[in-house]
Amino acid sequence: MQKDIVVFKNTAECFNLILRSEPSFDDISKRIEEKIMSNRDFYKGSSLSLNYVGRNLSLDEEKIIVSIFNSIAGANILDISCKKSDGISSTEDNLQTDSLSEDQDDLQNKTVSQIVSDAISYSNEGITKFHKGTLRSGQYIGYRGNVVVFGDMNPGSEIVATGNIIVLGLIRGIVRAGVEGDTNSVIAALGLQPTLLSIGDVITRTPEEDKKSKKKDLKFEVAHLKDDAIYISN
Amino acid sequence: MSEVIVITSGKGGVGKTTSTANIGVALAMEGKKVVLIDTDIGLRNLDVVMGVENRIVYDIVNVIEGVCRTKQALIKDKRFDGLFLLPAAQTRDKSSITPENMVKLCEELKKEFEYIIIDCPAGIEQGFANAIAAANRAIVVTTPEVSAVRDADRIIGLLEANGIYDHKLLVNRVRIDMVKKGDMMNINDIVDILAVELIGVVPDDENIIITTNRGEPAVMGKSKAGLAYRNITKRIIGEEIPFMDLDDKGGFFGSFKRIFGKNN
């Protein structure tokens, strides 16, 4: 069972909230707020379809969650729905259905689309944002996907991504990959000299000696996570 | 079509006001009609560097507030036809004018002047926002120091975010002897980090101190800095004056950055 009472899981189809059923709704909504606040700029301006699983929510409770995302995160919530897990509908008493037969059709459809969505999420590398040009001091990219930069990252710039970060130049700013838990994310660049680097929950920075290396001696380096430590290969 | 050029840097003390004065005078020496605007309200310096501090009656805030007509506030330079200065206010601060005020003022001045040069204050707040509001071009001034380059980088990012894509770099106070010894940042490295086109390099020159104190911009004399500013001004007008030694274009990734940098 998951340790956190709320877990965010983003797939290509929609934004999933995995909720525990025992805590009170107040605790759940507080935890959602906390998680959003810690990564606020991330969601700003994005359009999301929310999907929740693990407990039932009344229409009012659904409305509260939508308003949390809309107001605090600055996101635009398109809709919110409950994911039926594996077609077992015995606990879905609160959901409106018109007739039994429609219910069964729904189950069939959901099962098929759920299968498709699962298949996509296992093979899905996520969407990628491309930034053309050097990322300057003070500029920030937050993206739920991968980020590719055609240029350098100057000190004072920052990239936060749920996926991989590839920079076709020198990294001298802050890079954080796999921020929603994808520990397979990597950070790659022609020269890793970040002021701060993190993959998932593990954080590190450039060792002192490396800061002085000349540009022409640099090779393409990839940082990845292994056993809770960051390794750099080239 | 008039040009509105803002001289900015982010970092203080790198030579914005000195550059504004020298470029302004050099443009007038080329026969252009120029007005210099000091937007450093509360800490005005352009009038001192130009030698006209004793002739200020009205200032830019007076104009914006309608206390006087624009023409009454413009100070005509006695040495050059076609060179005017609009001084900043000293007893007010940068919240006294808005970007919209500046746009309106420059629209009016564009009818009379071929070049409007705006001296931007240090920082990235209200003063900066006011100064860049009406500009279509920018000259970013930096010195060969890590801190100044860092700030210049931020400023270039802000200029691009505000729609000013025609920006060029001016590297000031360069000491070639120190660069050769490796004690001072190399011009190529600076251009590489900032990924912008260079418009000129001004050597560190004692004459700047002397001429500033006298209120006679260096371009009027024979110093090295003066010559550098005259060359820079010619490049602003569009003439091609060769640089001293900027051959290294940074290799493959340098080209990458230049190609994609221009597509923003």
For B178-216, how does the pLDDT look when each residue is reduced to its tens digit (9 = 90+)? 999 999 999 999 999 999 999 999 999 999 999 999 999
Enumerate residue ranges in chain A where pLDDT < 70: 1-3, 11-13, 84-124, 209-217
Q: Which residue has the higher pLDDT, A168 or B239?
A: A168
> Does B55 lie at the interface with A, CB-CB under 8 angstroms?
no
CA pair distance A131, B261, nearest whole angstrom: 10
Q: What is the side-by-side strand order in the sheet with A146-150?
A: A128-132, A146-150, A165-167, A187-190, A220-226, A229-233
User: With contacts defined as CB-CB under 8 Å, which chain A residues touch B192?
Assistant: 215
Disruptive mutation site among A139, A148, A154 for chain B (greatest number of B CBs within 10 Å): A154
Residue B188 is given by DSSP the state: H
For residue B107 the two structure tokens come to: 């629209």
Residue A151 is nearest to which of B153, B156, B195, comparing CB atoms? B195
Looking at residue A95, its pLDDT comes to 39
Q: What is the pLDDT of residue A20?
A: 85
The verdict on a CB contact (< 8 Å) between A169 and B257 is yes
Cα distances (Å, whole numbers) of residue B184 to A37, B65, B127: 43, 46, 31
Averaged pLDDT of chain B: 91
pLDDT at B240: 80
Q: In a 3-state reduction of DSSP, which class is residue B4?
A: strand
Q: Which residues in chain A touch residue B195, judged by CB atoms under 8 angstroms apart? A: 133-134, 151-152
* Contact state of A136 with B153 under an 8 Å Cβ cutoff: yes
Task: Determine which of A57-71, B94-108, B220-234 has the lowest per-residue pLDDT on average.
Answer: A57-71
**CATH 3.40.50.1860 assigned to B3-261:** no
**Range A1-85 classified under CATH 3.40.50:** no
* Partner residue facing A151 (CB), from B153, B160, B261: B261
How is residue A181 written in tokens?
């838990």
- Kindly state whether B12 is in contact with chain A, defined as any CB-CB distance less than 8 angstroms: no
Nearest residue of B to residue A214, measured between CA atoms? B189
Structure token pair of residue A193? 């000299």
Amino acid at the residue B189? D
Position A84 scores a pLDDT of: 60
Query: What's the Cα-to-Cα distance from A145 to each of A7, A120, B6, rounded to whole Å?
Result: 17, 15, 38
Q: At what angle do helices B224-237 and B16-29 cross, to 10 degrees?
A: 70
Give yes or no for a contact between B63 and B70, defined as CB atoms under 8 angstroms apart. yes
Asked if B257 and A150 come within 8 Å (Cβ–Cβ), the reply is yes
Q: In what order do the strands lie in the sheet with B83-86?
A: B75-76, B83-86, B34-38, B115-119, B3-8, B137-142, B167-174, B197-203
User: What is the mean pLDDT of the segment spanning B26-43?
Assistant: 96
Residue scoring higher pLDDT (A123 or B122): B122
The CA distance from A140 to B199, in Å, is 28
Partners of B261 on chain A (C-beta within 8 Å) are 132-134, 151
Closest CA relative to residue B18, chosen from B196, B130, B141: B141
Q: What is the pLDDT of residue B254?
A: 59
Q: Where in chain A is the domain with CATH 3.30.750?
A: 1-85
**pLDDT tens per residue across span B146-177:** 999 999 999 999 999 999 999 999 999 999 99
Lowest mean pLDDT among A145-154, B20-29, B33-42, B254-263: B254-263
Q: Best mutation site among B153, B155, B158, B164 for testing chain A: the one with the most A CBs within 10 Å?
A: B153
B164 touches chain A (CB under 8 A): no
CATH for the stretch A128-233? 2.160.20.70
**pTM of the complete model:** 0.73
Residues of B numbered 111-150 whose beta carbons fall under 8 angstroms of chain A's beta carbons: which are they? Answer: 150
Q: Above 80 in pLDDT, residue B58? A: yes
Instruction: Provide the token pair at A133.
Output: 């040009």
Residues of A in contact with B193 (CB under 8 A): 152, 154
Q: What is the pLDDT of residue A55?
A: 85
Please name the residue of chain B whose CA is at the shortest distance from the CA of residue A151. B257
- B130 phi and psi, to 5 degrees? -60, -45
Q: How many residues are present in chain B?
A: 264
Which residues in chain A belong to E strands, given as ranges?
6-10, 15-19, 47-53, 76-82, 128-132, 140-143, 146-150, 158-161, 165-167, 174-177, 187-190, 196-199, 202-204, 220-226, 229-233
Cα-Cα-Cα-Cα dihedral sign, residues B237, B241, B245, B249: positive
User: Which residues in A lie closer than 8 A to residue B257 (C-beta atoms)?
Assistant: 133-134, 150-152, 169
